[in-house]
Structure 1
Amino acid sequence: MTGPAVLPRPSRGRRVWAHTWRLAVAVLVGVVVGVATYGVTLEEQPGRADSPGLMLWFLLDLVCMVVCAVLYVARRQAPLAVTGAVITVGTFSTFSAGITTLAVLSLATRRRWAEIVPVGLLWCGATLVGERAISNHLTDPGREMAHMDLTVLVVQAVYLALVVVTGMFIGGRRALVASLREQAAIARREADARDDGARAAERNRIAREMHDVLAHRLSLVALHSGALEYRAGLDPEQVRETAAVVRENAHEALGELREVLGLLRDTTATDEQSRPQPTFAQVDELLDGTRAAGSPVTFVLDRVGEDDLARLPASTSRHLYRVVQETLTNARKHAPGAPVHVRLHGAPGERIALEVTNPVPTTAPTTALPTSGWGLTGLAERLDLTGGRLEAGRQPDGTFVVRASLPWVVPAEEPVTESSGV
């Protein structure tokens, strides 16, 4: 599964370049404004070309621009304080106009009115002071500026609003990109989690299917093979019969394994219902196989008729078959030769219950068969998914009991009738 593309974060080199070119453009704008200002001054007042005061002001202007540039580079340490310092230093510098604008624009991208309002007021006040100072000492000494204050203030307010709106727009776009990047990362993590969950579910399905299909057959093969190995007194006819049972179950195990592997290779098969599944109608084969292995089995239907079992829902019938299969397999593994009692009872429209009991031997079997230890756990998960439950454990009387119950759903068109019983 391919997750959503995660927006890559800019590299350090790209971030440095982005700040560098912005600062370069701001310096260039300031240089253009300063050169234009000093050019107009010299054009209108040619006699001031050699004036020491003008040269001193020019040098001070350049120094202020350099100071503002250095402060701007360090603005991330304290954006509000540094922006205020840039505005203050740039008050009397025409070359710093671009850097001052860039500093206020950068602060506005943070979209915090508690910072924008005081900086805006400071910039408006500094503009009035700077305009008076530059006019008195540079462009038009001695000119009365009172009538110009309102015009300067209005123009500066409009310019400030334009800078703030632009900065807030850029800040909003950055926040949107960051949000999209975070959403893409979250979506990718969720997609990875879904993939991991799907893989885990598929592994569990494969393990459950392999266990259900092979454990029963292979336990019979191992049991009869052990009889051939340890029972030296068997006559040739018994040996042939036992070997035939081993061969038959081995062939059936191979056939069932082939079906399961075919299912797993089929990309269109999405669940275990894609292959023919056994039902409770085939439980007699399980019982006969266990009896042939040397374990006496009794099967009792309690208040349940054969016709009722024939109308069991397919999923319920299949789960009951799996419970009997697993319990008989466990009985052969842990109590070989011990009698097993299977009892089925229930009523349509209510619940159907299965109880399997066998005595627990006082000594461990001589030839213990391999076991995964997860058979009953897998059954419990199966039943939980269908609203059933499974209980298993050793009883005080020395027997091991497995109790399973499932809802017995009756189709709407089929009336519930009294069981004939057996």
Structure 2
Amino acid sequence: MTMTGEEHARAVTGPWWWARRRSAVLDGSLALVSALECGAEGIRFARDAGVPVAVGIGFGVVAGSMLLVRRRWPIAVVLVAIAITPAQMGFLMGIVGLYTLASCEVPRRIIGALAGMSLLGTMIVTFVRVRQDLARGDLTLGDWFVPFAAVTTSLGLTAPPVLLGLYVGARRRLMESLRERADSLERELQLLAERAEERAEWARGEERTRIAREMHDVVAHRVSLMVVHAAALQAVARKDPEKAVKNAALVGDMGRQALTELREMLGVLRAGEDVAGRAASAPLVAVGAAAAAAASRAAGEEAGSAEGPCLSELDELIGQSTAAGMAVDLSVMGEVRSYAAEIEQTAYRVVQEALTNVHKHAAGAKTHVRLAHRASEIAMQVENEPPPEPGSAAAARLPSGGNGLVGMRERVAALGGVFVSGPTDTGGFRVSAVIPAV
């Protein structure tokens, strides 16, 4: 099992320059064995050099103890091992020092130079020692054995630790590279998850805005007409029963239409929740990228499949306002043709909301609805004259949330169109919109 870079950094618990306590214990044990070895070999060195034995032992112990700093200063350890090679001591320190040097982040030319010096020193010392043994008669082999023993001994003490150190160093660097890549991948996944959450939150906000806009258009217009007809019904209930019955029927029709449209919208929402629930069972990494996109596509498909208003229903819409007592004049310019569903729905909603605002703020005012079919766009304008009675809107008790114009502007802007609204010079109000039709 491998660790990431952060986990590896937290795992550093050793003293001084050691990463772990067991590494310190290992180096301490190797230094102790090396000191004992060099101290024992220092006895013969003291006799050959003609110095007190205690001096030879102390020299060997101090030199062998250098192995304790092999991780901190590997070059120094190898140099000390090469320096004491003529005294025929420090074989363990030389082997371990070369291994440590080859496995560290040291330039290859330095490793090669020190390994060559160690090889040459060991070869010379072995050559001299074997030749002395042959001269004393300790060995009865031929002269060919001297160079053979020197070469094999020096290669045996130098090549294996260097090759093993190079392999361990390469493997360590590979593991560090994999840790870095794992850290980078983890950071990227975290960033992707954050971005996916932001996109999902944005999508939820957009969906809430769209639902609120649809609810406002459906409820505000239908209920406003229902309030107007209810007020008229109350006024003529005793004087003209037939007209009262007619107004009551209109109120019922509008209520049923509002309920039908609300039912269609709720059906789309339930279908979207089912798709989002199925997408929630996907893996965590794919939630941000796939779930939000799948939910958005599903909502779009369901919304597209639901029957929405179109421009052909404008006559019916204006007829409802006319039945409520508003004088509405419709004029159509250009060649009538069909458009994409979202364009026709947006154009219908703009006219619908504009008429609703007239009912709320200028009840009884004459209104002009103009629709222009152009080559690459469709334009619409709803303009009302000043109301005959300034207090008529307040008398009808129609509340206003101030979101109608905002919703119309958002709808038109979403299709790349232009929306303008404001009062006219005569005291009325004008709403204009142009939507690209390509």
CA distance in 1, matches of 2:175, 2:97: 17
Alignment of 1:82-93 (within 5 A): 83=72, 85=73, 87-88=75-76, 91-92=79-80
What corresponds to 2:314 in structure 1? 283
Matched, 1:402 2:431: yes
Change (3 A) 1:198 1:333: same
Q: 1:360 to 1:175 in 2, by over 3 A?
A: farther
Provide the secondary structure at the position in 1 that maps to 2:384: strand
Conserved? CA contact 1:88–1:126, under 8 Å:
no
Task: Give the match for residue 283 of structure 2.
Answer: none
Match of 2:384 in 1: 358
**TM-score normalized by the length of structure 1:** 0.67
8 Å Cα contact 2:100/2:165 also seen in 1: no
- The answer (yes or no) to whether the contact 1:340–1:356 under 8 Å persists in 2 is yes
Alignment-derived partner of residue 197 in structure 1 = 202
Instruction: Give secondary structure in 1 for the equivalent of 2:394.
Output: coil
Q: Which residue identity lines up with residue 253 of structure 2 in the other structure?
A: E
Q: Which amino acid aligns with 1:20?
A: R
TM-superposition CA deviations, 1:352-404 (whole Å, max 9, x none):
22111013569574255333433333333333343432222223333321112
Task: Give, in whole Å, the separation in 1 of the partners of 2:232 and 2:101.
Answer: 91
In structure 1, what is the equivalent of residue 86 of structure 2?
A: none
Q: Secondary structure of 1:19's partner?
A: coil
Cα distance in 2 between the residues matched to 1:47 and 1:224:
126
Q: Give the equivalent residue in structure 1 for 2:328.
A: 297
Higher RCO structure, 1 or 2 (CA under 8 Å, sep 6+): 1
> What does residue 169 of structure 1 align with?
174
| CA distance in 2 between partners of 1:406 and 1:208 (Å) | 18
1:10 to 7, 10, 14: 7
Q: Residues 270 and 245 (structure 1 numbering): CA distance in 2 closer, same or farther, change over 3 Å?
A: same
Amino acid at match of 1:351: E
Partner of 2:58, secondary structure, is helix
CA distance in 2, matches of 1:153, 1:100: 7
Secondary structure in structure 2 of the residue aligned to 1:10: helix
Say if 2:367 is the partner of 1:336.
no
| Mapped partners of 1:217, 1:227: distance in 2 | 15
Mean Cα displacement is larger for which, 372-381 or 31-40?
A: 31-40
Where does residue 141 of structure 2 map in the other structure? Answer: none
Aligned residue pair count: 364
Q: Is the 8 A contact 2:39 2:56 kept in 1?
A: no
Mark the CA change 1:128 to 1:357 in structure 2 (over 3 Å): closer, same or farther: same
Deviates more, 1:291-300 or 1:381-390: 381-390
Cα pair distance change 1:385/1:56, threshold 3 Å? same
Q: Secondary structure at the match of 1:173?
A: helix
1-structure distance, mates of 2:170, 2:5: 27
Q: Which residue of structure 1 lines up, in the alignment, with residue 354 of structure 2?
A: 327
Sequence identity (%): 27
CA contact (8 A) 1:219 1:332 kept: yes
In 1, Cα distance between equivalents of 2:181 and 2:232: 74
On the 8 A contact 1:279/1:314 being kept in 2, the answer is yes
Contact 2:98 2:162 in 1 (8 A): no
- Do the aligned partners of 2:36 and 2:61 also contact (CA within 8 Å) in 1? no
Residues 1:34 and 2:65 are matched in the alignment: no
User: Is the 1:34–1:95 contact (alpha carbons within 8 Å) kept by the matching residues of 2?
Assistant: yes
Q: State the distance in 2 between where 1:30 and 1:130 align.
A: 22
**Superposed displacement of residue 276, structure 1:** 0.8
Contact in 2 for aligned 1:29/1:97 (Cα 8 Å)? no
* 1:3 aligned partner: none
Deviation at 1:130, TM superposition (A): 12
Q: State the Cα RMSD in Å.
A: 4.7
CA distance in 1, matches of 2:96, 2:384: 92
Q: SS at 1:270's partner residue?
A: helix
Matched position secondary structure for 2:7 = coil
Contact 1:228 1:242 in 2 (8 A): yes
Larger Rg: 2
Distance 1:194 1:264 in 2: 19
Q: Does 1:207 align with 2:217?
A: no
State the partner residue of 1:412.
Answer: none
Distance 2:357 2:95 in 1: 88
Q: Aligned partners of 1:294 and 1:204: how far apart in 2?
A: 32
Q: Which residue number in structure 2 is paired with residue 381 of structure 1?
A: 410
Cα displacement string for residues 2-46 of structure 1 (whole angstroms, at most 9, x for unaligned residues): xxxxx8952875454893277258528835973895599489889
Cα displacement (A) at 1:333: 1.8
Shift of 1:327: 0.9
SS of 2:209 mapped into structure 1 = helix
Structure 1, gaps ≥5 residues long: 1-6, 73-82, 109-115, 410-422
C-alpha separation in 2, matches of 1:219 and 1:340: 16
Which residue in the other structure is 1:178 paired with? 183
